[in-house]
């Protein structure tokens, strides 16, 4: 088949150039969106009298038949036809005859691919939002199931203060809620129709772009034809959202890796989501969590790949932009896979809550409670902090803990200390006292769980 631009060329394109420039090997996954856009475009052409209505109907019928062939696996993609657009157009012309050649009236592959990519990312963004919701619901179920379980909270990877395990899990639900909002904003940014911008300058034919926007479900039409074909901000938005979500998944994965070690012994991941060693028979490795961490770096690379691709391009479309799709596809695949496997893995995790509770009281984790106790007795916080620090130093020198100190020892540091201090030294009591809004007390965590049950219903 002749190239669509063969008219001004005297010689055939070199085979090595065909192989080097083809993109159908990866952009074929856009077929559904390419056909969706082409059906709307054909209807618009017929409606506007740009092509005969019977030709428009034949084009729509032929495109639907091609869609069925691709869906069933019968369609043969040809690399010599360069991309998904020309593969479908060539098949259409072969199927319905000369009418197929009219489909590309009043459009270019420049605005066509901009449309296809927006439609694809709109679909992927909606899917990812649903996957995030599923993960949130799974985390919420775990939080409800382990209500009351106390664990050590950390800062700087050092034991800091006791918290509820449910509170810790809810922190990830909060992160994921922001991720959903980001993808929602991403959907808003890509809700602009580029089709009808043609190569870069629009067309002299009487097209109806508002009709196309309605047919394809876009809220608005692009206002500048040059920008429309050269814009990939919407793809960068998607990759940025994906990278941030992957960062959140990676942070959680890192904690699962740490918590499953003998040093922590907070959790055990089920056999179905772990692997063994080819040489060490005793090993049970958290490979799924480790791969989520690893794939995060991969998605970061996808974002920087497209940023780098776009940074030096003059207006408007340049062939470099063919390379926008591999990183976008890779990020979508990676994020969907990570969300899916993590959601499936979490219900099978066993939380060793007794171990968590025993470690929650170590490392002087209730020292802040002692300081706040002294504040309630009237001591300024800075002084209370200093007194508590001296108590901790004493414990370290005596190789003991706060709960083991006698009343005489405690009162030697401050006469404000009385028997009622015992109620702030226990990790469970410490947690119950944190009733500030958003805190880790059982009442506050129960409120948070109730809130998210309503949000995610």
Least reliable range by pLDDT among 198-212, 227-241, 401-415? 401-415
pLDDT of 264: 96
Q: What are phi and psi for residue 319, nearest 5 degrees? A: -65, -20
pLDDT value at 359 more than 80: yes
Catalytic machinery residues: 156, 277
Name the nearest CA neighbour of 288 among 331, 241, 329, 340.
Answer: 340
Ranges in the chain annotated CATH 1.10.275.10: 14-105
- Output phi, psi for 192, to 5 deg: -130, 125
Q: How many CB atoms lie within 10 A of CB 105?
A: 15
Burial class (CB in 10 A: 0-12, 13-18, 19+), 234: buried
110-358, CATH topology level: Fumarase C; Chain A, domain 2 (1.20.200)
Span 280-298, pLDDT tens digits: 999 999 999 999 999 999 9
Would you state the CATH architecture of domain 14-105? Orthogonal Bundle (1.10)
Alpha-carbon distance 234 to 240, whole Å?
Answer: 10
Condensed to tens digits (0 to 9), the pLDDT of residues 105-139 reads 999 999 999 999 999 999 999 999 999 999 999 99
Average pLDDT (207-214) is 98
- How much of the chain is in helix, strand and coil states, percent to nearest 5? 65, 5, 30
CA-to-CA distance for 410 and 370, rounded, in angstroms? 11
Whole-number pLDDT of residue 288: 97
Average pLDDT of the residues in 22-37: 97
At 150-184, the pLDDT tens digits run 999 999 999 999 999 999 999 999 999 999 999 99
Q: Using 50, 70 and 90 to split pLDDT, how confident is the model at 11?
A: confident
Question: pLDDT tens for residues 436-446?
Answer: 999 999 999 99
Compute the distance between CA of residue 424 and CA of residue 430 in angstroms, rounded to an integer.
6
Q: What is the pLDDT of residue 136?
A: 98
To the question of domain 367-425 being in CATH 1.10.40.30, the answer is: yes
Q: How confident is the model at residue 5 (pLDDT cuts 50, 70, 90)?
A: low
> For 227-237, what is the mean pLDDT?
98
- Give me the pLDDT at residue 254, please: 98
What integer best gives the mean pLDDT of the chain?
96
- In the chain, where does the domain assigned CATH 1.20.200.10 lie? 110-358
pLDDT, tens digit, 9 for 90 and up, residues 47-67: 999 999 999 999 999 999 999
Question: Counting Cβ atoms within 10 Å, is residue 446 exposed (0-12), middle (13-18) or buried (19+)?
Answer: middle
| pLDDT tens-digit series, residues 336-358 | 999 999 999 999 999 999 999 99
Task: Report d(CA 170, CA 456) in Å as an integer.
Answer: 13
């Amino acid at each position: 088949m002749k190239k669509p631009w063969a008219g001004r060329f005297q010689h055939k394109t070199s085979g090595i150039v065909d192989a080097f420039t083809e993109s159908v090997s990866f952009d074929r996954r856009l077929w559904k969106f390419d056909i969706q856009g082409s059906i709307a475009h054909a209807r618009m052409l017929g409606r506007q009298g740009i092509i005969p209505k019977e030709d428009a109907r034949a084009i729509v019928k032929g495109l639907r038949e091609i869609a069925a062939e691709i869906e069933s696996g019968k369609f043969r993609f040809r690399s010599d036809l360069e991309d998904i657009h020309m593969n479908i157009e060539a098949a259409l012309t072969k199927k319905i005859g000369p009418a197929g050649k009219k489909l590309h009236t009043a459009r270019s592959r420049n605005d066509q691919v901009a449309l296809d990519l927006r439609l694809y990312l709109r679909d992927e963004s909606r899917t990812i939002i649903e996957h995030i919701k599923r993960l949130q619901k799974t985390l919420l179920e775990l939080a409800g199931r382990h209500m009351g379980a106390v664990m050590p909270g950390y800062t700087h990877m050092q034991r800091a203060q006791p918290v509820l395990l449910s509170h810790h899990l809810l922190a990830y639900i909060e992160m994921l809620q922001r991720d959903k909002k980001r993808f929602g904003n991403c959907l808003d940014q890509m809700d602009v129709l580029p089709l009808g911008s043609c190569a870069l300058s629009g067309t002299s034919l009487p097209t109806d772009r508002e009709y196309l926007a309605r047919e394809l479900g876009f809220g608005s039409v692009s206002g500048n034809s040059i920008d429309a074909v050269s814009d990939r901000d919407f793809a960068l938005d998607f990759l940025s959202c994906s990278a941030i979500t992957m960062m959140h998944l990676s942070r959680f994965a890192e904690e699962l890796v740490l918590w499953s070690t003998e040093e922590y012994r907070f959790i055990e991941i089920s056999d179905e989501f772990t692997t063994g060693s080819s040489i060490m028979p005793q090993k049970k490795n958290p490979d799924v969590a480790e791969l989520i961490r690893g794939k995060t770096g991969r998605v970061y690379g996808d974002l920087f790949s497209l940023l780098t691709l776009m940074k030096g391009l003059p207006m408007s479309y340049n062939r470099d932009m063919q390379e926008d799709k591999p990183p976008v596809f890779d990020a979508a695949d990676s994020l969907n896979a990570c969300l899916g496997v993590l959601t499936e893995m979490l219900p099978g995790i066993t939380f060793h809550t007794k171990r968590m509770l025993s470690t929650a009281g170590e490392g002087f984790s209730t020292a802040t409670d002692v300081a706040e106790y002294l504040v309630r007795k009237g001591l300024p916080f800075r002084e209370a902090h200093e007194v508590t620090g001296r108590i901790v130093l004493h414990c370290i020198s005596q190789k003991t803990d706060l709960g083991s100190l006698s009343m005489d020892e405690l009162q030697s540091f401050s006469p404000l200390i009385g028997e009622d201090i015992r109620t702030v030294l226990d990790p469970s009591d410490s947690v119950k006292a944190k009733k500030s809004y958003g805190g880790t007390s059982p009442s506050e965590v129960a409120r948070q769980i109730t809130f998210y049950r309503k949000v995610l219903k």
